[in-house]
Amino acid sequence: MKLDRKLILVVGKGGVGRSTVAAAIAGNLAAQGKKTLLYETSANDRFGPYFDKPAVGEAITALAPNLWAVNSTPASALAEYGLMILRWKSVYEMVFENRVSKAFLRAIPGLDDYALLGKAWYHTTEEKRGAPAWDTVVFDMPASGHSVSMLRVPWVIVDTVPEGPLTRDARTVKAMLCDPARTAAVLVTLAEEMPVNEAIELEAKLTALGIVPQQLLVNQVFPQHFPPGAPVSRALDALVASITDAGALSPPLAQLAAHAQLSRDRRALNERYLAELRARAKTRVAELPMLFAQTLGKAEVALLGDRITSA
C-alpha cells in the first residue's frame, strides 16, 4: 500500500489490533524519512512502550527518528481550538473557562468529537518556519461506532450550524476527508465472524460519507503450518487419531498434538472468513501475520510496517 497521504485514518472494531497497525504504519513512514505524527485520543497508550518510551500524553512526544506521538483529550483539543480562533490566552480564558461557557459547551452534541477530529486536521496544516510541520498524520481512531460518529460531525455542522468560523473549518475538514489524494482510510479487522461483519458495515458507512477506504488489513492471520495433503498434515492426523483411539498420549507429545491441532483449526477458521471478506468487501484485502511474542516491541512493529507497505 502506498502511504503518501497527508492524513491516514486507521479504523476498526476494538480488539482487532488497530493501534498496533497505526504504530506500524507510522513507524514505517518515519523510517522512510517522513516527519510523522502518530495521533490518538483519550487512549490507554501503547505507542510509548512499542518504541521503548514512556506512555504518550497530551504533549507531543518524540518516539523515534522522524516519529512523534500525541494522546489528545477533548478538553486539551478544545483548548487548542479555542486559542487558535481567539489568538490570545486571556481572551480564551474569558470565553471558554468561565462557568456559564463551560456548561454551554458541554451541552453541544458532538463538540468533543469535533475538537479531537479538528486537532488531527490542524496538524495536517501545521507549519513551522514556513514549512509543513508534518509530512503525515496517522490517526488511530476510536472503535468503529465512535469513529463513524466522529467523522460525521463536520457534515452535521455544515448542515445545521449558522455560517461562521465553525462551519468554515468544518467544510474544510469535510473536503479533506473526502479527498483520496490527501486522506487514506485503512480498515483493520480479524478473520473471524463478528469482526468481518463489522468491517463490512464500517466500509459501507465510510463510503456513504464519501470516505472511500484504500485498504482492508486482516490482522493476526495464523500461518499455514499444515497444508492439506502435506506429510506434516498426515502426521498430525495420525497423532489426533491415536489420541481418539487410545484415549491419551504421553507428554510432551500430547501437548504438541493439541497445539498443532489448534493451529490448524485457527488457520481453517481464518481462511473461511478471509474468503468471505474477499467476496463481500469492495476494498482491497491484505493479510498481516499472527506474531507469536509475549509483548510487541520495535522489531514486531517494524515487521508489520514492512508487510503493510508491501501489501
Q: What is the pLDDT of residues 99-140, one digit of tens each?
A: 544 544 554 557 788 889 989 999 999 999 899 999 999 999
Tell me what the mean pLDDT of segment 25-37 comes to.
97
Q: Which H or E run contains 36?
A: strand 36-41
At 92 the pLDDT is 47
At 145 the pLDDT is 86
Cell of 102: 463551560
pLDDT confidence tier of residue 302, bands split at 50, 70 and 90: very high
* Whole-Å CA distances, 195 to 3, 120, 241: 24, 26, 33
Cell of 188: 483493520
pLDDT confidence tier of residue 247, bands split at 50, 70 and 90: low
The answer on pLDDT for 186 being more than 60 is yes
At 96 the pLDDT is 52
At 248 the pLDDT is 63
Beta carbons of 1 and 168 less than 8 angstroms apart: no
Mean pLDDT score of the chain, rounded to an integer? 87
- Cα–Cα dist 244/236, whole Å: 12
Structural domain for 151, as ranges: 7-227+282-310
- Cα–Cα dist 300/50, whole Å: 9
The answer on pLDDT for 167 being more than 70 is yes
Residue whose cell numbers read 486482516: 218
| 251 inside domain | no
Across the chain, how many H-helices and E-strands are there? 12, 10
| 238 inside domain | no
Rg of the chain, C-alpha, whole Å: 23
- Tell me the per-residue pLDDT of 282-297, one tens digit each, with 9 for 90 and over: 999 999 999 998 899 9
- Cα–Cα dist 299/233, whole Å: 31
pLDDT confidence tier of residue 71, bands split at 50, 70 and 90: very high
Tell me what the mean pLDDT of segment 291-311 comes to.
92
Number of domains the chain is built from: 1
pLDDT confidence tier of residue 86, bands split at 50, 70 and 90: very low
| 245 inside domain | no
| 233 inside domain | no
| 244 inside domain | no
* Whole-Å CA distances, 204 to 40, 158, 240, 282: 24, 22, 43, 9
At 162 the pLDDT is 78
The answer on pLDDT for 88 being more than 50 is no
For residues 61-80, one letter each, b for 16 or more C-beta atoms within 10 angstroms of the residue's C-beta and e for the rest, the string is: bebbebbbbbbbbbebbbbb
At 97 the pLDDT is 53
- Tell me the per-residue pLDDT of 193-225, one tens digit each, with 9 for 90 and over: 999 999 999 999 999 999 999 999 999 999 999
3-state secondary structure of 308: helix
Closest by CA position to 39, among listed 72, 85, 67: 72
Query: What is the sign, positive or negative, of the torsion defined by CA atoms of 69, 75, 81, 84?
Result: negative
| 268 inside domain | no
pLDDT confidence tier of residue 2, bands split at 50, 70 and 90: confident
* CATH code at position 126: 3.40.50.300
Higher pLDDT residue, 19 or 245?
19
The answer on pLDDT for 87 being more than 70 is no
| 180 inside domain | yes
| 246 inside domain | no
Closest by CA position to 71, among listed 50, 52, 48, 92: 48
At 30 the pLDDT is 97
